[in-house]
Amino acid sequence: GEDVEQSLFLSVREGDSSVINCTYTDSSSTYLYWYKQEPGAGLQLLTYIFSNMDMKQDQRLTVLLNKKDKHLSLRIADTQTGDSAIYFCAETPNQAGTALIFGKGTTLSVSS
């Protein structure tokens, strides 16, 4: 079945690193994504990783993928107050299309 799970809340201090974790169930997913949603806004694609990779770095963002455990994580270095938002993990289990299956989201709260 298709299911994506995330922890619901994470609270960090400004300047610290944040790590948001996600588990998924469909091993056929070709891409895995991280989206950011600020209050009252749509979704912003932060980064994505192809399933044959185990790590991707993009400026302050590092994505780690453990295919054996179906575990995905997003690390945000030097977390800023502007990073406060909801972060969604998503997979694309349907290889013929691009439908995204989302987790419920992790609310990141950054305090100064």
Partner 1 sequence: ETGVTQSPTHLIKTRGQQVTLRCSSQSGHNTVSWYQQALGQGPQFIFQYYREEENGRGNFPPRFSGLQFPNYSSELNVNALELDDSALYLCASSPRGEGQAGFGSGTRLTVV
State the residues that interact with partner 1 by CB under 8 A.
4, 30-31, 33, 35, 41-45, 48, 88, 90, 92, 94, 96-105
Is 2 or 16 the residue whose CB approaches partner 1 more closely?
A: 2
User: What is the smallest separation between the CB atom of 97 and partner 1, expressed in angstroms?
Assistant: 4
Is 12 or 43 the residue whose CB approaches partner 1 more closely?
A: 43
Strands 106-111 and 9-13: parallel
User: What is the smallest separation between the CB atom of 40 and partner 1, expressed in angstroms?
Assistant: 8
User: What is the smallest separation between the CB atom of 80 and partner 1, expressed in angstroms?
Assistant: 21
